[in-house]
Amino acid sequence: MMPSVAQAAKKGSPKRVIFFMQNQGFDPLTAIPAGMKTSGSLAKAKLPEPIQALEPYKERLHIINGLHGVHTSPSHSAFFGALGGYRGSDGVPPSGPTIDYTLSKALPETLLPHLCIGMDSLENMKAKPTVANLSASGAGQPIFMHSNPNHLYQMLFGGISAGAIRQRHEAQSSMFDRIEQLAAAKGGALPGADKQRYGQYVRGFGDINGLRERLGKVSSHLRRFAPEVDEGYANPEFETDWHDRLLDLGIAALKSGITSVLTIGSGRGEIFGSWKGVGVEQQGHNLGHMKQPNNPIWIKIRQYNSRMLVKLMQELESVPEGSGTMMDNTLIVYTSNNADYQHTSGKTWPVMLLGNYDGAFKTGCFTQLDGKRPINALYTSILRASGVEVDRYNMTEKMAAKFDSGTGPLKEILA
């Protein structure tokens, strides 16, 4: 039940969507104001301490509780299933595209349709600067997320840099050109299945080289948005130094128009993750075995997330667009690839939305659903708001009969 994006609306204000996925779960009690049991306005409510940084932005916030994802098997993580709305697990390849990729094809074309960044411990980000756990372009086609800000800066802005960064960019570009040529020449004699996999490898280098060429053509424009390279890139003290710079690069990609879809994986979709830079000494899997409400550790992590969300909004608010700003045409989706907590069944999958997406979504409110609509229905709603006429996302009629009590978008959240 994949939507056809060919007829998606391409006119009007440009739109962009940001997905922020925190691992280890998102307990609804860390977001829902005390005493709110039913749907209502947030105007007179006080936001809980973990998301207190969003208090000045309540009129742009929509807290949603009651979606489910039991069909995604999200125990340690739903991995690709969190954004795909299908079964996912450790080592299970994606069975279809994820919503971030689908939106990148529905929205007006950009130089880099979709950017995915992943935040983890310094050790993990250095050892594995790219991993693929959350996003996919199709069945068996994962999309890598970037975790080393030095590499990502070089990819996006290396062509407009000077000195050592420029030299590394040129050396890497020459290497990629040569690898693509060699790979293209050597794969013809392989057996069918190997040839297909090899072809994906060759196309990967072709995509990198194509992006480098496209970015080179708009170098004067990009100079206005490239972040300053400081000591935090080369010599981070904590992992959060790299987290912050990855966020800066994601913001620069949005503001410059390089991309219109950004996915942020805090914990990179797995059971790991580290936040020593905000005073959390514990890391990894054990964080998922702690109750989150009133937990000083999770308050710090969620507050850090909230400050990142505020920075995203403020940066986009600073750029005029149409009769308003970039933020007026943006939707930020904050949730977890783990539903509400680790080892969950996925029966409750809390979500926060920020921004109204050019007036498409209600804001300044809390919505309590009855638990009979899946996360797929949220993705259907975002697609509808993006101009794609679709009633279901990644869910067959047979699956829907078991996991979805309705059809179409979530009317409760659309304006």
Give the pLDDT confidence of 91-121 residue by residue, as tens digits: 899 999 999 999 999 999 998 889 999 999 9
Residue 66's pLDDT is: 97
Q: Which of 404, 292, 383 is nearest to 67 (CA)?
A: 404
Least confident of 13-17, 68-72, 141-145, 190-194: 190-194
Residue 2's pLDDT is: 37
Give residues with Cβ within 8 angstroms of 11, minimum separation 6: none
347-372: average pLDDT: 97
Element (H, E) at 138: strand 130-138
Residue 211's pLDDT is: 75
The token pair that represents 387 in the structure block: 């101009």
**What percent of the chain lies above the pLDDT cut of 70?**
84
Give 220's pLDDT tier (boundaries 50, 70, 90): confident
The CB density around residue 198, as the number of other CB atoms within 10 Å, is: 17
Beta bridge mates, 262: 18, 115
- Separation in Å, CA 379 to CA 67, 85, 88, 363, 375: 11, 8, 17, 17, 7
The CB density around residue 195, as the number of other CB atoms within 10 Å, is: 12
Q: Is the pLDDT of residue 54 over 60?
A: yes
21-30: average pLDDT: 97
Residue 205's pLDDT is: 47
3-class DSSP state of 336: strand
Q: What distance in Å separates the CA atoms of residue 212 and residue 151, rounded to the nearest whole number?
A: 13
Q: What distance in Å separates the CA atoms of residue 263 and residue 347, rounded to the nearest whole number?
A: 24
Residue-averaged pLDDT of the chain: 88
Give 159's pLDDT tier (boundaries 50, 70, 90): low
3-class DSSP state of 377: helix
Q: What distance in Å separates the CA atoms of residue 297 and residue 339, rounded to the nearest whole number?
A: 19
Residue 336's pLDDT is: 98
Give 210's pLDDT tier (boundaries 50, 70, 90): low
Residue 221's pLDDT is: 85
Q: Which of 143, 170, 183 is nearest to 269 (CA)?
A: 143
Residue 195's pLDDT is: 53
Residue 213's pLDDT is: 75
- The predicted-structure confidence for 55-85, as pLDDT tens digits, reads as follows 999 999 999 999 999 999 998 999 999 999 9
In residues, how long is the chain? 415
The token pair that represents 146 in the structure block: 């970037």
Residue 144's pLDDT is: 92
Q: Which of 384, 329, 377 is nearest to 8 (CA)?
A: 384
Block residue for tokens 């969190």: 82
Give 217's pLDDT tier (boundaries 50, 70, 90): confident
Q: What distance in Å separates the CA atoms of residue 385 and residue 366, rounded to the nearest whole number?
A: 19
CA torsion sign, 26 to 31 to 34 to 37?
negative
Q: What distance in Å separates the CA atoms of residue 402 and residue 390, rounded to the nearest whole number?
A: 19
Half-sphere exposure of 32 (CA within 13 A, CB side): 21
Residue 321's pLDDT is: 95
Q: What is the pTM of this model?
A: 0.89
Residue 3's pLDDT is: 40
Contact status, residue 20 vs residue 305, Cβ threshold 8 Å: yes
What backbone phi and psi angles, to 5 degrees, belong to 22?
-95, 135
Give 1's pLDDT tier (boundaries 50, 70, 90): very low
Q: Is the pLDDT of residue 8 over 70?
A: no
Give 155's pLDDT tier (boundaries 50, 70, 90): confident
Each residue of 130-145: b (16+ CB within 10 Å) or e?
ebbbbbbbeeeebbeb
30-53: average pLDDT: 97
The helix-helix angle for 296-317 and 239-256 (nearest 10°) equals 30
264-288: average pLDDT: 95
Rg from Cα positions in the chain: 21
Which has the higher per-residue pLDDT, 156 or 194? 156
